[in-house]
Each structure stands twice: as C-alpha cells, then as structure tokens.
Amino acid sequence: MRKIIAILTAALICFSGCSKSFLDKQPDDRITTGNFWQSESDALLALYGVYNVLHESGVYGYGGGFDACSPNAYQWAHWEGMEQQVGNGSISANDGGIVIDRWKQCYTGINRANTFLENIGKVPIDDAKKAQMAGEVYFLRGVFYALLANTYGGVPVFTKTITADEARQLKRNTEEETWAQVHSDYDEAIKALPKDAPVAGRASLGAAYAMKLRAYLYTANWDKVLEYTGLIDGLGKYSLFPSYKGLFQLANENNAEVIFDVQYMDGPFEQGSYFDRHWQPQNMKYGIDGSNSVAPIQNLVDAYETIDGSPVDKANPYVNRDPRLDFTILRPGAYFQGQLYPDQIKNHTGQKVGFSIRKYTIETQQVVAGQEPLNYIVYRYADVLLSKAEALIQKGTDIPQAMQLINQIRTSRTDVKITALPISLSQPEALKQLRHERRIEFALEGLYWDDVRRWGIGKNIYPLEVRGADGSLIETKFANGYTEKSKYLPINNNERSINTNLEQNPGY
C-alpha cells in the first residue's frame, strides 16, 4: 500500500515552517527558491507540504483526543493541548494548546495552499495534472477554513498570499462568509477531482463530497445534506466495512468505508502518528512506553447498550454489551497484547480513570514511539448513513427510513449485531436515538465535541461528573453549568495584541 510522504526534509526546507504567530509574522510558508516550480516533482513536493498540515496536533493529529473536549473522555496530561480545559469550561483567551494551535496551523495550511495555487501555473506539466493538483489544494483549503469556522466562528478569509503588514490589518469575516468560502473551495475541488485518487490518502471526488456534506451538516442545511449523501451513494464506491473492529486495524486500511483519512507511515522519515504515545498503555514487552494522555470515562461506558436491550448486569457489567464497547475502550478485565488490564499492563491516565483507549492502537506488533503507522480516518461511510438519517429526522419527512439507516449501523456488520430500533418513532424519540448512535459509533474519533456544540445540548449534559471505573470522582465538567460561549473557542490574546482588528468571541 502506498502512503503519502507528507514530511520530507526538502519539504521542510521549501516550506520553512510555522511562524511564532500567524499575525505576528507572516508564516514562512512561501517557496522563494528561484529554481522552484520548475518540474512535476516540485509541484508534488509543494502539494505534499499542504497535506502535511493535516498531521498537526490542532488539525487532525490529536485524533480521538479531541473527545476530551466532550462528555466522552478525560485528559490527564492537560498541558498537552488543553482539551481538558475546553472540556470542563475553564479555557481562556490566555491559554495556548488547541486555542492557538488550531488557529495557527490551519492558517499555515491556508498560506501554503494560496502559495501553491498562485504558482502551479508555472510548472511545465499537462493541464489535466495541474487541474487535479489545484483541485486537491482547493479541497485542503476548504478543510482548513471549515475547521476554523466550526471552532471560532467567523475568521479572516483571504485567498491570496499577503504581506505581514496586510496580515496585521485583517478583520474577521462573518461566520456565514467563512462557510461560504469553505463551500467555494469544495466546489472548485469537485470540478477537478477524480473518482479515484492517484495515491491513497490524496483527495478524491468522494472526499470533496463528504467534507462538503459535513459542512452542511454542521450548519443544519438538511436539504443539502440529503443532496450530498445521494451524490456519494451515486459514486457506487463506498460501503460499511464488515467488521467494526477490523475497520481500525492496520491490515484493513483504505477499505471501502474510508472516504478520507490522514495517511501515516513508520520508518526513517518518522511520519507515523503519536497515537501510541497518546492512547496506548505501557507495555515493556513490546517496548511501548505509552502515556495515554486521554482516557474514556464511566459516563461513556454507561452509554453502551446491551446486545438484547436488557438492563446491564451490575454484577457483570461488561457481559452482553454492545461489542463496540470492547472494540473502542480498554476496560478492567480485558486483555491487550496478551496482558490483563489494568493488572499486568498499565498507563498513566488509566491508573487514575480505570479505562484506556483501544481504538487506533496496534495490538499485534511493537510500535516505535511516534511512528505508529495507523491512519486516522477523517470521514467514513457510516457518517454518510447517519447524516442522512439525521436530515430525514430533522425534516420529519421519512422517519422510518431514517431508523432503517440507523439499524444498518447496528445490525449489518459481522461483529456488531444489537437489537434493532423500532422504525415508527416520534420525531423527538428518533432524534434522541440518532444522537445516541452517533456518540457510540464515533466514540473516541474526535467528533462528539462538534456534535454537542452544533446540537446545542450542552446545557442538558452539564454539569457532568468524571468518574473512573472504581466510581471515584475525578472532576466535574462545567461544574457551574454549561455556558453558550463554549460553542466557540476564544481567539488567543497574543493574536489580538498583534492585530487589534480581531474581535474576541463573546464571553471571553
């Protein structure tokens, strides 16, 4: 299987890295070498430099760790990305971590994209290749602007390279204008991208459809959600992978459920992920010194149903449970790499919480620290099914069909077969089941924080006690209740001190 080589020494020379601050100094992401943009290899190098930003911790590099921002998980190493502070309501405009990283890293990607689009015309390759590469970069710029819009609301929008002085004068566009740019970029991508990507991990037409679909989902445009689920199905390319457990295994990467993912690889170029460090427990048998900075909590464990719909057996709480529980969470009494958890194999956060993450960890081989080769799936076909179901429920046009789509998730895999839901439900009941199914299906994949915010249900969830497997209280998320300001992150004060035109989000 071919992987995108997204970090190369040459790429780091050409794209000379992120600046200290996006608005402090224009990020040094412009290729200024006089002999660049002369060949197809130059164009590919620049293209992969844009893709490389997807690996950054504030973009997709923290993967399921973003669930610590939600009711699903707890972050022990709270200084890593400050997802714990986001998740408990204590984040401020003076904080770093995700507050500044997502802003800075997404704008790094946007600057690289703008540079690429301004220069690809110089490269002596055929027009078809130029158009496809440009389509991929439009797609990536749309991804970066979508993350910014979803996280901060309206942000400065620009589509050309700009000077440092110009950067310091930028004002925030409205949220509607920012989403409009997202859709404009995706539309340009759709014009140019093929059904099948030339290399695994590069953008395809299906990826552009899917990320545009997500943008419509996050802004509650239900008619467009249905339109784009139809376009994806019309490609005849995607389906649920037969095994939920197997979906996240190295041997099954780039399967028919994966629509877009971030590609990783091990080896001397060190392009693996840090998922082994973030999620995997320590196992000196394999030389794995995992820290497990984020761990699922009892509240998430309790959300998993039983297979047959009966009450959970309190004396044997892990018997007869939805199989996705054990495929996602490492819990007391389970085995990992042949060792009993948490007696024979331990981890930092798990010692405090009593649970660990199993999803996106490798159980079958030794993993070199920081070089786990397992890809992170940004968008998979299960999301198409549940997005379509949500749109049908919200429109109230065909709730039975929506429930059939949800039941497809619950019953059609070989290793996940739990009681099907009734198809004749009221709209509120169907919406409740849809939201539950999304939480379970995508648990520890980094999506639930977005769902809670877009659904506006934080006030119904919080305050929420973070309890471990032994019942002990670790902390209370939003102890004083959820506040609406938490829909967005603040703009970091360092950015605002450099550019006084940047208005702060309300409440910070």
Report if residue 302 sits inside a domain: no
User: In the prediction, which pLDDT does 342 show?
Assistant: 86
User: In the prediction, which pLDDT does 96 show?
Assistant: 94
User: In the prediction, which pLDDT does 20 show?
Assistant: 34
Report if residue 379 sits inside a domain: no
Q: How many domains does the chain have?
A: 1
Report if residue 183 sits inside a domain: yes
Retrieve residue 4's tokens.
Answer: 């995108």
Dihedral, CA atoms, 141, 177, 208, 229, nearest 10 degrees?
160
pTM for the structure as a whole: 0.93
Alpha carbon 453 to its chain centroid, in Å, reads 15
β-pairing verdict for 376-380 and 258-262: antiparallel
CATH number (domain holding residue 103):
1.25.40.390
Full domain range(s) for residue 174: 9-220+489-498
User: In the prediction, which pLDDT does 436 show?
Assistant: 98
User: In the prediction, which pLDDT does 409 show?
Assistant: 98
User: In the prediction, which pLDDT does 289 show?
Assistant: 61
Report if residue 257 sits inside a domain: no
Put residue 396 in one of left, alpha, beta given phi > 0 → left and psi -120 to 50 → alpha. left
Supply the DSSP string of 390-441, one letter for each residue.
HHHHHHTS-HHHHHHHHHHHHHSSSS---PPPPS---HHHHHHHHHHHHHHH
Decide: 110 and 125 in contact? Cβ < 8 Å: no
According to the 3-state scheme, what is the secondary structure of 317-338? Answer: CCCCECCHHHHHEECCCCEECC
At CB < 8 A and 24+ separation, what contacts does 84-88 make? Answer: 86/449, 86/486, 86/489, 87/449, 87/477, 88/475, 88/476, 88/477, 88/478, 88/479
User: In the prediction, which pLDDT does 7 show?
Assistant: 34
Gap between the Cα atoms of 492 and 489, Å rounded: 9
Supply the DSSP string of 62-128, one letter for each residue.
TGGGGGGGTTTEEESSTTTT-HHHHHHT---TT--THHHHHHHHHHHHHHHHHHHHHHGGGS-S-HH
Gap between the Cα atoms of 114 and 157, Å rounded: 12
Report if residue 202 sits inside a domain: yes
pLDDT in tens, the chain (508 residues): 334 443 333 333 334 333 333 333 344 455 555 689 999 999 999 999 999 999 999 999 999 999 999 999 999 766 678 999 999 999 999 999 999 999 999 999 999 999 999 999 999 999 999 999 999 999 999 999 999 999 999 999 999 999 999 999 999 999 999 999 999 999 999 999 999 999 999 999 999 999 999 999 999 999 999 999 999 999 999 999 999 999 999 999 999 999 999 999 876 555 788 887 777 777 766 666 666 789 999 999 999 999 999 999 999 999 999 999 999 999 999 998 888 888 888 766 656 788 999 999 888 766 776 778 999 999 999 999 999 999 999 999 999 999 999 999 999 999 999 999 999 999 999 999 999 999 999 999 999 999 999 999 999 999 999 999 999 999 999 999 999 999 999 999 999 999 999 999 999 9
Report if residue 377 sits inside a domain: no
User: In the prediction, which pLDDT does 349 show?
Assistant: 62
Gap between the Cα atoms of 156 and 173, Å rounded: 5
Q: Which residue is associated with the tokens 């679909």? A: 213
Report if residue 118 sits inside a domain: yes
E-assigned strand segments in 116-174: none
Burial 25-44 (b: 16+ CB within 10 A, else e): ebbebbbeeeebbeeeebbb
Helices first, then strands: H and E counts in the chain: 20, 10
Question: In which element (H, E) is residue 462 found?
Answer: none
Report if residue 123 sits inside a domain: yes
| Count of positions (residues) in the chain | 508
